[in-house]
Structure 1
Amino acid sequence: MPFSDFFKGKKGGAGINGASPPGIDAAEKVAVVEEIEISGALGFWNTDAQGRISYLSGWIVDALDGEFAQFAGEAMQQVFIPVDGEADGRSLGLKLGTRKSFSGMAVQASRTGADLVLRLSGRPLYDGSGTFLGFRGSTIDVTDEFRSEEEANRLAKFDSLTGLANRHRMEQRIDSTLHAFRSAKRAAALMMLDLDRFKQVNDTLGHAAGDQLLQQVADRLRGAVAGRGEIGRLGGDEFQVLIPDLDDRGELGEIAKKIIQILSQPYSVEEGRCSIGCSVGIAIAPYDGVERDELTRAADLALYASKNGGRGQFRFYAADLEHEANLRKRMEEDLAQAIESGHFTLEYQPVVSLADNRVVALEAQYCWVDEERGRVEAETFMPVAEGSRLIIPIGDWGLRKTCEDAVHWPESIVAALHVSPVQFEASGFVDTVEDVLKKTGLDPARLELRLPESVLLGDGSTVDKALSRLFKAGVRLTLDQFGTGLSSLSYLRRAPFNALRIGEDFFEPVMGSELGDLELVKAVVALAGAMGMETIASGVHAIALMEELKRLGVNQVCGFVYSGAMTSEQVLEEIAEGEWILAPSDNGTQRASRRTVFRKIGVIHEDHYYDVTLRNLSRSGAMIQGLEDVPVGTMFVLDFGQGQLAVCSVRRTMDDTQGVEFEQELVDDGAGGLCTRHRVSPYELAAAGAPLQALPAGKYTLADKLSSNPSYAQFKLSANAPKQQAA
């Protein structure tokens, strides 16, 4: 319908604004308005009393990629819908239904593929008797302006490289989420992610490759998180993930492991292939913080701990991490001094052939004797050394010392040395190995370097060249802790390894077997056999396990079942007696230190609270000491501190020691330890009268309501119980 017909039409009124002003010819006015409409500067629309379209300017119809007949008779609100983010949030249908004038309403085409944004103004029409006839209005095209503004808003909220939320948007999202969740008593988890070895990619392949890598990291993160939360890039190689309504640390740990595994797979960029890693720190609101600053600081501390723990790990926030950070900094300073002062020593643990109980290798283990700390075990200071790169001078010293000692051993005994990924990736590592072998005169075939799977995540060509040079030099290569890392079987087939070392993690008790996951061990043995490699099992502490490993075809064993580590002098005494044969023993007095825990925890029974000693801990249970005359079947609640409570029952008891079984298994804490899935909710504590705050360190917050006076206790405290403190 021509605009002139519409303008003169039978809808009531002589024109768009009613009668023409005096002195203005109506036909001339129509011509002017038609010219404006044709130019697209202004458009017009009309509906009947039911809100159905009876007129649209031609340029609007063209922009909708259709014919007017397609829209005539359709409800206005079905053709045009409010633009996302409009302040009033009300539909066009509601506007029309009120029969009141409106102006400046932004709408967009509902039809898919039609890129059109209009600002509508309209007023109701009535005839002389007051009967409602419909709406008539004008509109302007604001598509370009809206899209420009939309892009500007997007750039203000999203990272231009990856399309993820930027720091500003993440701060807003965390603030709004925590504010809304406090009133609803809901939880939210915050993950802080940092890429390992990303700087190396930038330095070797260039910033363009680094940008491509970051884009692929963003894509992989979207797949790993799978829409469960908001992902942000804070800048550089730092990322953040906000996951609402999740406080299960078992599930969060699985998500973190998945992220680490996915991000650690090789990447293809234009300049070649590269590999990186990822470290993750996790904090959960309201347990670890109720405000954004608290929560992000907690997640940052957890990330710092995971990176310093060896990278490629996740850590949950714990109240002692700040203290741990201070201790770590001081330990770094003392380690640097210890290197110069020569306070490091090596001890050697025998590796025994299961075929004849003959010692075939000695595994070097670092020891640090500090004036204040005394003897410091490697598992305590080595993560600190790796995080500070002090492992490089320590590792160089250890390599030289091991080779110097090994030249005095029989030729049948190999010297085995663990190599850190940081040490392996350091410039000149292979040159150092070749130089030490040359200066000490040790046969390269008697040096075994044990490399963790994480070394395979470095730059592919660099790793291949280093392994090839070591292999050609005659050095034995063992893939350490096989099956616990991320290396692929295709790479294993190409790499020149002589043996696979099965770590002690395989021998943790699992459902159906106290000896560990022997089916997986069997598979590793079969794989090694198919590839012409030997198998070495470490952390073997019982004859029953040793005999089972022998039956499965494992070649060599290292562990307390044969011998602990010994000094260089003790080694020389043993080899002086001739061929070194060790008989296995299973007296039960020696256990791996990592399996034994000695610390004070709380036990809650009815309305009594006791301090006891935690002797050891597994996923399914624990051993506690300090209470006497406790019957089998007694139900306890163990308080591990910072809101971690575990319901358990006594399964066996002997004097003042009880073995308890948990109702719900513990989960990995990311640092080689265990934690409860859930914690006491600060919302519950607030409901009981406590202020809403992050969980404090120490015992269960409501323990002060329980009696810790032994005179009223159900059970007698033994002499081995920790000194009881008032709650």
Structure 2
Amino acid sequence: MATSAALMAVVPLAAVLFLAIVGGASVAAMLLDGAPVPAGAIAVLTVILGINVLLRGENFLRVRDAEADRAEKDEVVSMLLGEFEESEADWLWQIDTARRVCDPSMRFAGALRASPVDIEGEPFLRLILGDDWQNQEALPVHRQLAEKFTRRESFSSLAVRVVLDGNVKWWELSGMPAYDEQGNFAGFRGVGSDVTEQHESNEKIAYLARYDTLSGLPNRMMLTEALAEALRFAEKWRTQCALMMIDLDRFKAVNDSLGHLVGDTLLAQVAKRLNDAMDDNTFCGRLGGDEFAVVVRDVSNPRLLAERGEWLIELLSEPYSVDEHTLHIGASIGSATGPADGTTVEMLLRNADLALYRAKDERGGVYRCYEPTLFAVAEERRQLETALRAALQRGEFHLQYQPIVDARSETLMSFEALIRWHPEGGSPIPPDRFIRLAEETRLIVPIGRWVMERACRDATRWPTHVRLSVNVSAEQLLDPDFSGDVVRALSASGLDPSRLEIEVTESVFLNDADRARRAMEEVIALGCKVALDDFGTGYSSLGYLRKLHFSNIKIDRSFVNGAAQGNIESLAIIRAVVAMAEFLEMATTAEGVEQAEEADLIRDLGCTKMQGYLFGRPMNVSDTDSLFRMRDREPA
């Protein structure tokens, strides 16, 4: 029984069954022979051997299960290592206590562009860093890797710059210290992979996030970081820094006339000139569109800052050559100095922008620095814009009409509609304060639509020979539905189209000349007239007169006043305009006639119409009736 229990423990059920049968039979035989003591001893032995068999069987099964689990894990690890070794970008590496490569795998040797024999026993760091592997000025990541080896610390996903045959690669290494069976340090083992493409992709993404792709200059984010650093430097050393904002003059005209490709090339050339002009104390970038900025780290003298700004304007205003085109643009610059003009990046950006707005307001091509009054002006402008947006809904606008008379007979021929703004509970605001703001904010489009509709309706109460002149801004004329607005105003009022004259200035041709010309041609096709206002004071071109048949040319009051004072140039200009208009079968209207002597002179010079305080100030539509009773009602 004892022998069976020892040999059959691996099959515990069979052993226990055997012990039960043999032990039970032996106990029964002893009892039949009248030997109860041996029977009891055999029974105890049988129970002890059974318990022993069960315990040994359980232990055997536990060992077998552990061996099976270990075998399964070994199989999985072997499979994963096989797949890892077959990968094109991953490999295993191993170094000894002297940091020399040992037992290199084929994949690792292939990554180093060598054979396993060539790299066996070579210093690991030298293989990675090349000839500079012992340079004390190595990259921080290389120093970190060396420190990990020295301290025998594990590391994971460490991006390392690798030089192979003069080419730069990036590896991602993970490793841990290895120990032998006695627990002695045996070196390092780990895995590596080539992440060059991923690193370059990340670098490209980081570049795009901080640099402008068109110009190659730092973008707004990097400029704000540089400005913040300059502010910290100024605060630390009790100095001053500055921000100069640059806006290109006449760039939009180039972009619209020659196309965006030429415009982009021009921006790239501007960026190069600007970047070449920088030094260790300055940092430039592109804010967007045709706006650039320069951060000056240390401003020792505000006068020198102004001189530098004016020099940059001269530099950027020199001619450019793009696709066989010689282009002339200019630049305007506004600057703010920190911490005097602002202690934060946002304040300096805002104040430099205000100074730039002032420079642009002076027709550009100048340098202006920030002044505290500019903020007050900007705040006033903001409040004016807010009020202007609500003025139309509140009915705060009204129209006045100024007479235009025949130069010979002084018979009333037409009225020019003039908009007036009287805010509720406030004083009247002159047109020169809000018209330009309305144009800049494009509020002029709905305001101009209201003027057109109201003026046409008012004109229907006048005699049929009296015409109506309505001023139209460039923003209105370039609106896609401008001709539709004219049609709706005429239809709603019933005014004859021949009685409506649209007045435009030469500025309408600056942004999109073709579009403006098409809009005016559509208006002329309706039967309306088109007059060229303020001729000679803007960007005059005889090409406008050749391409469009204007019904009238209005001579600016500055020439009329100059001629009345005997200015030879003004007299010559008026004579030339009158002669040209007669040849082209156009009428001429002299503006700003306030004295009888001026009227006689204008009459002698040959102008066909006159307008000014001498013949009537702007009046409400209700006051026009009395004017008809005072003047000749016959048409010219």
TM-score range, shorter chain: 0.5 to 0.7
Cα distance in 2 between the residues matched to 1:550 and 1:505: 17
- What is aligned with 1:213? 263
Q: Would the aligned equivalents of 1:186 and 1:245 in 2 still touch at CA under 8 Å?
A: no
1:268–1:489 distance in 2 versus 1, CA, 3 Å: farther
Matched, 1:330 2:383: yes
- What is the rounded CA distance, in whole Å, between the counterparts of 2:273 and 2:556 in structure 1? 31
Kept after mapping to 1: 8 A contact 2:313/2:330: no
Tell me the TM-score normalized by structure 1.
Answer: 0.46
Select the residue among 525, 529, 534 that pairs with 2:587: 534
Residue 394 of structure 1 aligns with which residue?
447
The code of the aligned residue for 2:484 comes to D
Question: Which aligned pairs between 1:6-21 and structure 2 lie closer than 5 A?
Answer: none
2:370 corresponds to 1:320: no
CA 1:394–1:306 in 2, change beyond 3 Å: closer, same or farther? farther
Q: Is the 8 A contact 2:501 2:528 kept in 1?
A: yes
* Secondary structure, counterpart of 1:159 in structure 2: coil
Q: Higher strand fraction: Structure 1 or Structure 2?
A: 1
State the distance in 2 between where 1:315 and 1:367 align.
34
| Corresponding residue to 1:238 among 283, 291, 309 | 291
- Give the deviation of 1:422 after TM superposition: 1.9
1:457 equivalent in structure 2? 510
For residues 221 and 483 of structure 1, the distance between their equivalents in structure 2, rounded to whole angstroms, comes to 35
- What residue number does 2:398 align with? 345
> For the structure 1 residues 236 and 561, does the alpha-carbon distance in structure 2 shift closer, same or farther, using more than 3 Å as the test?
same
How many Å apart are 1:354 and its aligned residue? 2.6
Structure 1 distance, partners of 2:220, 2:409, is 62
Structure 1 residue 227: deviation in Å? 7.1
Map of 1:598 onto structure 2: none
- Is contact 2:231-2:241 (8 Å) kept? no
Judge conservation of contact 2:245–2:291 (CA < 8 Å) in 1.
no
Amino acid at match of 1:351: I
- Residue 379 in structure 1 maps to residue 432 in structure 2: yes
Shift in Å at residue 551 of structure 1?
4.2
Alignment of 1:28-47 (within 5 A): none
Following TM superposition, by how much is the alpha carbon of 1:189 offset from its aligned partner in structure 2, in angstroms?
A: 8.9
Query: Secondary structure at the residue paired with 1:376?
Result: coil
Q: Call closer, same or farther: CA 1:189–1:518 in 2, change over 3 Å.
A: farther
1:570 is paired with a residue of what secondary structure? Answer: helix
Give the deviation of 1:297 after TM superposition.
2.5
Pair 1:193 & 2:271 matched: no
Residue in 1 that maps onto 2:334: 282
Q: 2:562–2:571: 8 Å Cα contact kept in structure 1? A: no
- Aligned-partner SS, 1:385: helix
C-alpha separation between the residues in 2 aligned to 1:546 and 1:242? 57
Deviation string, structure 1 residues 320-358 (Cα, Å, up to 9, x no partner): 332333333333333333322322210011223333333
1:17-64 CA deviation, whole Å, 9 max, x = no partner? xxxxxxxxxxxxxxxxxxxxxxxxxxxxxxxxxxxxxxxxxxxxxxxx
The 3 A distance-change label for structure 1 pair 524 and 255 is: farther
1:442 to 495, 503, 509: 495
Q: Distance in 1 between matches of 2:311 and 2:420?
A: 32
Q: Deviations over 1:275-331 (max 9, x none)?
A: 9x9995634669984889565422312455788x79999895553332333333333
CA distance in 1 between counterparts of 2:471 and 2:443 reads 15
1:499 maps to 552
Q: 1:520 to 1:376 in 2, by over 3 A?
A: same
Give the Cα separation in 2 of the matches to 1:494 and 1:213: 26
Aligned equivalents of 1:254 and 1:404: distance in 2?
53
Distance 1:157 1:352, change over 3 A: same
> C-alpha distance in 2, partners of 1:319/1:279?
23
Question: What are the within-5 Å matches in structure 2 for residues 470-619 of structure 1?
Answer: 470-486=523-539, 488-504=541-557, 506=559, 517-543=570-596, 545-579=598-632
The 8 Å contact of residues 417 and 468 in structure 2, kept in 1 or not, is answered as: yes
Q: CA–CA distance in 2 between the matches of 1:242 and 1:541?
A: 53
Q: CA deviation at 1:472?
A: 1.2
Q: Deviations over 1:498-528 (max 9, x none)?
A: 2233334556879x97798554445544544
Contact 2:402 2:415 in 1 (8 A): yes
Aligned residue runs from structure 1 range 119-158, under 5 A: none
Q: Output aligned runs, 1:219-230, within 5 Å.
A: 219=269
Separation of aligned partners in 2, 1:287 and 1:481? 45
On the 8 A contact 1:303/1:314 being kept in 2, the answer is: no
SS in 2 for 1:484: coil
**SS where residue 408 of structure 2 aligns?**
coil
1:191 deviates by 4.2
Give the CA deviation at 1:420. 1.9
Distance, in Å, in 1 between the alignment partners of 2:576 and 2:304 is: 36
* Distance in structure 1 (CA, Å) of the matches to 2:569 and 2:306: 26
- Assess if the C-alpha contact under 8 Å between 2:351 and 2:375 holds in 1: no
Q: Given that residues 231 and 343 in structure 2 are in contact (C-alpha distance below 8 angstroms), is that contact kept between their aligned partners in structure 1?
A: no
Q: Corresponding residue for 2:46?
A: none
Root-mean-square deviation (CA, aligned residues, Å) is: 5.7
Q: For 1:502 and 1:406, locate their aligned partners in 2 and report how far apart those are by CA, in whole Å.
A: 24
Query: What are the residue-to-residue correspondences of 1:111-126 with 2, within 5 Å?
Result: none
Tell me if structure 1 keeps the 8 A contact 2:240–2:339. Answer: no
* CA-CA distance at 1:481 after TM superposition: 2.5
Secondary structure of 1:481's match? strand
Write the distance in 1 (CA, Å) between the matches of 2:168 and 2:392: 66
Does the 8 Å CA contact 1:187/1:245 hold for their aligned counterparts? no
Letter in 1 for 2:263: L
Distance, in Å, in 2 between the alignment partners of 1:225 and 1:539 is 50
Aligned twin of 2:109: none
1:361 aligns with 414
**For 2:429, what is the secondary structure of its paired residue?**
strand
Rg larger for: 2
Within the candidate set 464, 468, 471, 1:411 is matched to 464
Q: Distance in 2 between matches of 1:513 and 1:174?
A: 59
In the alignment, the residues of structure 2 paired with residue 519 and residue 253 of structure 1 have an alpha-carbon distance, to the nearest angstrom, of 38
Greater percentage in helix: 2
- Residue type matched to 2:497 in 1? P
CA distance in 1 between partners of 2:310 and 2:470 (Å): 35
The answer to whether the aligner puts 1:301 opposite 2:354 as a matched pair is: yes
- Aligned residue identity for 1:467: M
Separation in structure 2 between the aligned mates of residue 187 and residue 508 of structure 1, nearest angstrom: 49
Deviation at 1:471, TM superposition (A): 1.2
Equivalent pair of 2:313/2:365 in contact (CA under 8 Å): no
* Partner Cα distance (2:232, 2:553) in 1: 48
In the TM superposition, what whole-angstrom CA distance separates every residue of 1:405-459 from its partner, at most 9, and x where no partner exists? 1122233322111112222222311011012213322222211111122322343
Segments of structure 2 that go 5 or more residues without pairing to the other structure are 1-134, 138-163, 170-199, 297-301
Residues 1:509 and 1:574: Cα distance change in structure 2 (over 3 Å): closer
Q: Give the aligned residue type for 1:454.
A: S
Q: Is 1:432 the equivalent of 2:482?
A: no
CA distance in 2, matches of 1:580, 1:525: 27
**Residues 192 and 299, structure 1, Cα contact 8 Å, conserved in 2:** no
Amino acid at match of 2:244: L
- Give secondary structure in 2 for the equivalent of 1:576: helix
Counting only pairs closer than 5 Å after superposition, residues 688-699 of structure 1 correspond to structure 2 as none
Q: Is the 8 A contact 2:402 2:619 kept in 1?
A: yes
SS, match of residue 413 in structure 2: strand
State the aligned residue count.
Answer: 426
Q: Secondary structure at the match of 2:428?
A: strand
State how 1:623-638 maps to structure 2 within 5 Å: none
Indicate the residue corresponding to 2:39 in structure 1.
none
| Alpha carbons of structure 1 residues 518 and 574: separation in structure 2 relative to 1, 3 Å | same
Question: Contact 1:406/1:415 (CA < 8 Å) preserved in 2?
Answer: yes
TM-score (norm 2): 0.52
